[in-house]
Amino acid sequence: MTNETPLVTIITVTFNAELFLETTVQSIIEQNYPNIEYIIIDGGSTDTTIDIIKKYKKHINYWISEPDQGIYDAMNKGIHTTSGKWVNFMNAGDTFTSPNSISNIFDKLQHNTDIVCGDVFLVDQQKKTKYYQKSSGFNDISNSMIPCNHQGMFVKASIMKAELFNTHYLLAADYDFIIKIFTKNKNFQFINEATSNFLLGGETQKNNLLLRIESLHIQAKYELNTLKLSDNYHFQSLLKIYAKKNNNNTISKSLEQSFSKSFSTLYNHINQLKSSDDKLIIYGAGSVLETFYESLKHKIIDIIDCAKSGKKIGLHTISSPSKLNHYPSETKILITVLGRENEIEDYLLKEFNISNKSVIRLKLY
């Protein structure tokens, strides 16, 4: 420890990360920067992750293992425990590019900087490839994913503690954080070199649809949608997913307009349901529910799907339709099978003691 360099806190968030954690820990131990605090926030791993943490405990200033409400909730826990002046998140599987990475950042640090961002390498282990990704900055903020990746970003701890990550977002809270502090006129400095390796294959890659939906919502919240949707990066990504699911190889203007309207209305309705007082029974355990499950899971008392009875989505075990006989007739039932709403509503009204006022359809127009 030294008084000549600011204390930098590195936070690693883990959950069942036995395949990746040790590489990350070693990368941090190897840093030649002399003033590092290292924190690990584990979500209650059941594999050998905790054994790895204990193996390196002399290099770890603080660690905890307990259930959390998702990656951004865990990251916020880490922020609350930090003693450093600067904070960086290097999650399991991510690494610094060299032992000099942190030193190089702070050798170049300007006196008025609030957030310093380096470039990253995107690492695809399956394809055995590595791509250089330059921080995009804010010149084209309404048409890019994120100005800089959090693996290459060092933020003043005072800012992180004041703002935290918005856990309303499941995959894009780091994007929301960066845009929020940008709109508050914090000073960003971009370093023209790769400081970290970002391991692909996490939740953002697994649920690209939800990531794009959240990103567009964030842009709208901060009034960043200055481009036409036809030119918007996130919208175009969503549109391609939509077209693929509808077996369309070409994207027509009418398809784009239809999707735009459907997307906006659907997302707003999900937000309304999320903030309502009603508890919900979900009818249909398909892709729509999978996309919005994390947003609605605190509202769900049961999921009904005759074809998937006994399987699980998140913490919920899917029930057969006969389970509906056990609920009061006024219990709200949300139909998430798009295109079969009339058929399913008729079935619910005829076969079970359900009021038509209790049936909710997702709003698409």
Q: Is the pLDDT of residue 278 over 80?
A: yes
Same domain? 153 vs 287: no
Q: Which two tokens stand for residue 343?
A: 């058929």
Q: Do 172 and 314 belong to one domain?
A: no
Overall domain count for the chain: 2
Helix %, strand %, coil % of the chain (to 5): 40, 20, 35
pLDDT per position as a tens digit, 193-239: 999 999 887 555 446 666 766 777 677 667 665 444 555 555 666 56
* pLDDT one-digit tens code per residue, 125-141: 777 788 888 887 776 66
pLDDT score, position 124: 85
pTM of the predicted model over 0.75: no
Cα–Cα distance for residue pair 223/142, rounded to 1 Å: 9
Instruction: Using the predicted structure, report yes or no on whether residue 144 has a pLDDT greater than 60.
Output: no
Q: Tokens 């567009």: give the residue.
A: 216
29 φψ region: left (φ > 0), alpha (ψ -120 to 50), beta (else):
alpha
Q: What pLDDT is stored for residue 211 in this prediction?
A: 73
Q: Are residues 133 and 21 in the same domain?
A: yes
Do 167 and 291 lie in one domain? The reply is: no
User: Looking at this protein, which amino acid is placed at residue 52?
Assistant: I
Same domain, 20 and 114: yes
The answer on 184 and 52 residing in a single domain is: yes
pLDDT of residue 3: 45
Tell me what pLDDT residue 2 has. 40
Q: Does residue 255 have a pLDDT over 80?
A: no
Average pLDDT, stretch 269-294?
Answer: 84
In a domain, 228, yes or no: no
Backbone φ, ψ for residue 139 (5° rounding): -70, -30
Which of 205, 238, 262 marks a domain boundary?
205
Any domain includes 236: no
Confidence (pLDDT) at 222: 74
| CATH code: domain of residue 37 | 3.90.550.10
| Domain presence at residue 250 | no
Q: Is the pLDDT of residue 353 over 90?
A: no
Domain boundary among 205, 227, 251: 205
- Mean per-residue pLDDT, 4-14: 94
φ and ψ of 126, to 5 deg: -65, -45
Digit-coded pLDDT (tens) for 64-87: 999 998 899 999 999 999 999 999
Specify whether 137 is located in the same domain as 17.
yes
When pLDDT is averaged across residues 82-93 and rounded to a whole number, the result is: 96
Per the structure, the complete domain to which residue 351 belongs is given by 272-361
Has residue 117 got a pLDDT over 60? Answer: yes
Residues 85 and 191 grouped into a single domain: yes
> Which tokens in the block code for residue 331?
């219990």
- What CATH number should be reported for the domain holding residue 293? 3.40.50.720
How much is the average pLDDT of 132-155?
77
